[in-house]
Amino acid sequence: MFEILPLTPELLAELGDELGGCDFTDPSQTDFLAKVTPCDVQAAPGNGKTTLLAATLALLSRNWMTRSRGVCVISHTNAARTEVEDLIARHPTAARLTSYPHFTGTVTAFINQYLALPYLRGLGWSVRQIDDDAFAAEALRLYPSWGVLDGLAKNPKLKLKRRLEDWIAHMDLDPAFADDAISPSTLAVRRRKGQHGADTPCGKALAQLKASMVNSGLYRYADMTALAWRALSDTPALAERLRDRFPLIILDEAQDTHGEQLRLLEHVFKHDGAAFQRLGDSNQTLYEDDGAAPAYWTPGPGCIPLDTSRRFGGEIAGFASRLTTRQAQAIVGLGVRPATRVMILFDEGTIGGVLGAFAKEARALWGDDSSTRDIWAVASRHNLSGKKGAWQPKSLVDYHPAYRSEGGSRGKANLLCRQLQKAAVHHAAARPPAEVSEMLAVGISDLARVHGWRAANDRPITAHNVWAALTHRDVALPRAVRRLLRDHVLAGEAAWDRAAWLVFMEQLLPHFSPHPQDAKAEIAEFCGFVAEQKADPDDPERRSTKQVHFDDLTLRLGSIHSVKGKSVDGILVVESKVWKGSGADEQCIDLTTVLPRAFGVTDQPFAGVGLTAATNVFVGVTRPRELLGLALRKSHSAAVAAAAQEQGWDVIDLTNSA
């Protein structure tokens, strides 16, 4: 196993100084720091969980001597991974725990590195790209080539096209696939709700299409999990080897890992001899498992509670505590500044004034300092929605019609321009160069593929061998292509401006000549321009649609998911629809559903879509330090508005001044 140094007051003070003046003397914190056995940690928002994790690594690094066994830190997102790495990057000893024999990365990266990709290479399968959007775009482009699928889609009596294309876009590999040849002709896929069986003509065609996608090197993220399960099934000793390699496994943001990924990690690490420690907040379970048997992390008996929050004070803590519906928790707010809480009431005629009213409250609170504050307006749903039925606020677009989520053209995610736009966005956001480079490599490898190029030994060209393959053709070619990518994509406007894109293509495509005559149409489609708006804060016509300006105050807009993990100065949660299906019991308006319990008007428990709404609202209201706002229809506010006033909220009725 491994050992922890005795936690003396001197050592705790030293750890605190090394991590920027933190205090680790709380009994729950010292309990976790001393743990060498499996445990669960239920951490309230703003409690400093990530800093505590960094302190654990700093503590372990003092006496971790073996070079063959390491600490495995797994997170759900790259943002969470980067946050941990940034905290320990400058630590004199903890920084080495991010390199071999240790692992710090996402659950997807762990599964790929240690299970899926080694097994996939053993099968002789190639990897061009692992991306759900790119997979969907390519699969939807190809499926008309299968007469059975094309016929089902075009049959007006069946009205099956939308469901069929959903099955195609989400074809996940079944771990029990039978054809493990280098070029499989058919591969079993997981059956989704309502999907035709494997023995039907549709099922057989889907299996053939899945095999075609694998042969072209395109995979979904879930395919990697399926391959990992297959690897563990074919090599039972593999799990024990991983436990021996990593005696300590820390799963950060455990509530975000669910379904097959969670089951896989538990299958490997939830055994004697491994310290599988899971940290998270089950009340922030935003990512839901849509599988037949959903699996979520739930803190086990004896979990370590981190109940305090340094982000906000008692006003927000008390309100949020009533929304801890998945795991009851009395949050203790340690924030020193009292919070301003405001409820904005509106109707169809005044909904357009909601954001301005909140900006006015922010300016009243912070005055001239408002321009420096991080202020948000968020909603459970932030994309465009249909206008069917009686009026109700369905998404953030209803409050600010210019807002767009800017998720990109998913239907064209397989095209070169869209891939380079993604790289340009990551580059502008100062993401790690390795991530940007891989995105560029994916685009260029696909460009080489549509030209019929192959790597050495007639292997497919992928993002991992594309530069070597180009060098094999012409030693000067990689440098020339990279220079064009730098000048026109990362430093230029080619990804965003049609004219600039055409100039870029005129200089790039000759490097891949001559063009195969039978592939001209495919090359032209792949190299087509994809219209997307590039944000420019200095140009009023091209400002981001994800923010709105009130003089020098900037109100940022987004989904509740987009602010998860953030601390902000002020936030407005606006009422919107939570949609999980077409049934009446599968959709609701979030604040209307949640606020009666939040204000103590009722103790009604939540389930189904109501639980989803409560989780969303909990995440939203636990982001701000000083200013919390809620916006809901006046017609549905009678009981909660009165309770809010009694509890010290300011209630602003926009309909009175309309």
126 domain-assigned: no
Q: How confident is the model over 283-295, as pLDDT tens digits? A: 999 887 777 678 8
Within a domain: 3 = no
Cα dist. 190→9, 230, 341 in Å? 54, 14, 47
SS3 content of the chain, % helix, strand, coil (to 5): 45, 15, 40
Reported as a single tens digit per residue, the pLDDT across 421-455 is 989 988 887 777 888 999 999 999 999 999 999 88
Indicate if the pLDDT at residue 540 is higher than 60. no
pLDDT of residue 157: 87
Q: Indicate the residue among 219, 242, 275 that finishes a domain.
A: 219
pLDDT of residue 505: 95
* Residues 185-238: tens digit of each pLDDT: 999 999 988 899 999 999 999 999 999 999 999 999 999 999 999 999 999 999
- Whether 84 maps to a domain, the answer reads yes
- What is the rounded CA–CA span in Å between residue 354 and residue 358? 6
The better pLDDT of the pair 191, 386 is held by 191
Query: What domain range is 180 assigned to?
Result: 132-219
Q: Is the pLDDT of residue 407 over 80?
A: no
pLDDT for the residue 541: 36
User: In the prediction, which pLDDT does 592 show?
Assistant: 94
* Predicted pLDDT at 123: 95
Q: Are residues 159 and 302 in the same domain?
A: no
Domain with residue 274: its CATH number is 3.40.50.300
Among 526, 528, 406, 527, CA closest to 138: 526
- Per-residue pLDDT, 545: 59
Query: pLDDT grade, residue 417 (50/70/90)?
Result: very high
Per-residue pLDDT tens digits for 293-322: 788 999 988 899 999 999 999 999 999 999
Is 9 strand, coil or helix? Answer: helix
Task: Say yes or no: 549 and 460 in one domain.
Answer: no
**Which residues fall within 8 angstroms of residue 555, CB to CB, at 6 or more apart?**
355, 358, 359, 362, 375, 376, 377, 547, 548, 549, 572
- State the amino acid at position 219 in one-letter form: Y
Residues 55 and 160 in one domain: no
pLDDT at 460: 85
* pLDDT over 70 at 408, yes or no: no
Name, in order, each residue with C-beta under 8 angstroms of 657's C-beta and a sequence gap of 6 or more. Answer: none
Contact 560, 363 (CB under 8 A): no
Torsion of CA 254, 260, 263, 265, to 10 degrees: -60
CA distance 112 to 606: 36
pLDDT of residue 248: 96
Q: In the prediction, which pLDDT does 87 show?
A: 86
The percentage of the chain sitting over the pLDDT mark of 70, rounded to a whole number, equals 95
Within-domain flag for 122: no
Would you say residue 121 lies in a domain? no
- 96 near 89, Cβ under 8 Å? no
Mean pLDDT, the chain, whole residue set: 90
pLDDT at 33 over 80: yes
Partner residues linked to 545 by β-bridges: none
**Residue 48 belongs to some domain of the structure:** yes
Residue 527 has pLDDT above 90, yes or no: yes
Residues 289 and 381 both lie in one domain: no
Phi-psi region of 430 (alpha: psi -120 to 50; beta: other; left: phi over 0): left
Instruction: Give me the mean pLDDT over the 456-469 stretch.
Output: 88
Q: Are residues 418 and 391 in the same domain?
A: no
pLDDT average, residue stretch 499-523: 92
Q: How confident is the model at residue 385, as a pLDDT?
A: 62
Phi and psi angles of residue 27, each rounded to the nearest 5 degrees, phi first: -55, -40
Chosen domain end from 306, 335, 356 = 306
- Helix, strand counts (H, E) of the chain: 25, 19
Are both 418 and 400 inside the same structural domain? no
Q: Is 535 domain-assigned?
A: no
User: Is 615 found in the same domain as 517?
Assistant: no
Pairing between strand 340-346 and 587-589? unpaired
Are 568 and 597 in the same domain? Answer: yes
| pLDDT at residue 390, rounded to an integer | 77
Peptide bond into 101 cis (omega under 30): yes
pLDDT at site 84: 87
Residue 539 scores a pLDDT above 50: no
Average pLDDT over residues 268-277: 91
Residue 390 sits in the same domain as residue 441: no
Q: How many structural domains does the chain have?
A: 4
Over range 505-517, report the average pLDDT: 91
Q: Which two tokens stand for residue 116?
A: 């899926």
**Does residue 396 lie within any of the structural domains?**
yes
pLDDT of residue 273: 83
User: Which range, 70-84, 88-102, 364-378, 544-558, has the best average confidence (pLDDT)?
Assistant: 364-378
Which tens digits make up the pLDDT trace of 141-182?
A: 999 999 999 999 999 888 899 999 999 999 999 999 998 899
What lies within 8 Å, CB to CB, of 303 at 6+ separation is 39, 40, 41, 42
> Is 270 in the same domain as 145?
no
Task: Read off the CATH number of the domain in which 620 is found.
Answer: 3.40.50
Do 421 and 555 lie in a common domain? no
Confidence label for 379 from pLDDT (cuts 50, 70 and 90): very high
Same domain, 398 and 432: no
- The band of 251, judged by pLDDT with boundaries at 50, 70 and 90, is very high
CA pair distance 188, 176, nearest whole angstrom: 7
- The answer to whether the beta carbons of residues 48 and 84 sit under 8 Å apart is no
Report pLDDT for 410.
Answer: 62
**Residue where one domain finishes, among candidates 500, 526, 552:** 526
Q: Are 206 and 167 in contact (CB under 8 A)?
A: yes
User: Are 27 and 50 a contacting pair, CB within 8 Å?
Assistant: no
